[in-house]
Structure 1
Amino acid sequence: MSEEELAEFETDVLSGFVLARASAGLVDSTIRNDTNHLELIRDWFGRPRWEMEPADADVYFGKVLRDAKPSTRTGRAGALAVFFQFLELRHKVELHNLTGRVVECPLDEMNRPRASVEPQLRIPPSEAEIEALFAGWREELVT
């Protein structure tokens, strides 16, 4: 398979992924977010995503995205994991026949980014703080 044919196949696979997600009922913004994450991974990796191995994911999530927000890391990891589920379900045999590679998600229990474990608590203001807020508004509205 030539480089051009491989690039066309990669585009077709991503198009199929988008169509499958749309037929599953996901909204366009969710699909767009997933494909954006996947494109950013592809740009960094420089090769088809199905060639990624756990060591590549270690570098990407452990170094490249180390300082990114937890939501960015988990979003990107989630998109990659779902994409690999799609590859395994729909293209496993075809990819093996074309490339000789067995499709396997590079994320596993050892390197899968986790959502932040810090609780995001919203502590309501005290009555004194509420009174001070509204007192300030009352004074401001008079003037």
Structure 2
Amino acid sequence: MAEARFQVIAGGAVPEEPLAMDPWQFQAVCVEAFVASWRARGFSPVTIDNDVGLLERTLVALGRPAWEVTPGDIDRVVGDLAVKGRATSTRCEYVQIFKGFHRFLQARKSAEIEAAFGVRLVCPVDEFNASRHDGDDSPALVPPPTPERVAEFFDFMKQRIATARKYGPAARDYAMFRTLYHAGLRSEEASLLERADVHFSRGPFGKLHVRFGKGAHTSGPRPRWVPMLDGLDLVLRQRR
């Protein structure tokens, strides 16, 4: 039998030391991949734009790459928001969006992060710094309802109008939900609309003047014009 011989080959599949990589550039790539996953799940452009802005503000406030964030960093950011008088819901949104991003890193990027930066991912959000209303139902985690589910909901609303004891409240609720759906308004924005804010003659479809749109905490409401698409003008004309 021929003598067996072994040859040592330099190098290996797993690096012995962390790879050299700029953490901020790598995090930017991870954010882009996270946003791409929202598009794959069918989130609307409006929702994506809002959540991207929220995620960017959260990461800037934390001041370090997501895989280096500690429970103390979460305490600091949430505490600063509370001192500034931000609502509980706003503080919850910061925590939720970070949790969603961190879970994405754990699922998709944990091996790369450990190889590049020598960090094993552990979420810094715990029972002590999470909001009482914090959960896994943030917009970044829960996909929107299917078109079939939306159609089923509005069929129910139409049947409710037909059988309601008082037509007015049932028709009002239907018009409000249709406005939320077609115009992309927030519930508070829609509830603050008045008859004078509906302008059927503006543009080819008519427009809503959202006078109390969401704005920065210091600058106050941010008004804007919203086109009445997909037959929303017909719904509001009938309600009028």
TM-score by length of 1: 0.71
Partner of 1:12: 29
Report the AA paired with residue 76 of structure 1. Y
Contact 1:38 1:76 in 2 (8 A): yes
Q: Which residue among 112, 118, 124 is the counterpart of 1:100?
A: 118
Mapping of residues 1-143 of structure 1, within 5 Å? 1-2=20-21, 5-61=22-78, 63-66=79-82, 67-115=85-133
Partner of 1:133: none
Report the AA paired with residue 64 of structure 2. R
- Show CA shifts across 1:66-103 (max 9, x none): 12112211111111111011000000111011111111
Once residues 81 and 106 of structure 1 are traced to their aligned partners in structure 2, the CA distance between those partners, rounded to angstroms, is 9
Offset of residue 8 of structure 1: 2.1
Higher normalized helix content (fraction of residues): 1
Aligned length in residues: 113
Q: Which segment is superposed worse, 28-37 or 47-56?
A: 28-37
SS of the counterpart of 2:128? coil
Higher normalized strand content (fraction of residues): 2
Q: Which runs of 5+ in 1 are unaligned?
A: 117-143
SS of the counterpart of 1:65? helix
**Once the two structures are aligned, what percentage of the paired residues are identical?**
30
- Show CA shifts across 1:88-123 (max 9, x none): 00001110111111112211122111339xxxxxxx
Q: Which has the larger radius of gyration?
A: 2
Higher RCO structure (Cα 8 Å, ≥6 apart):
1
TM-score by length of 2: 0.44
Contact 1:34 1:76 in 2 (8 A): no
- Considering only aligned residues, what root-mean-square deviation do their CA atoms show, in Å? 1.8
Once residues 27 and 93 of structure 2 are traced to their aligned partners in structure 1, the CA distance between those partners, rounded to angstroms, is 22
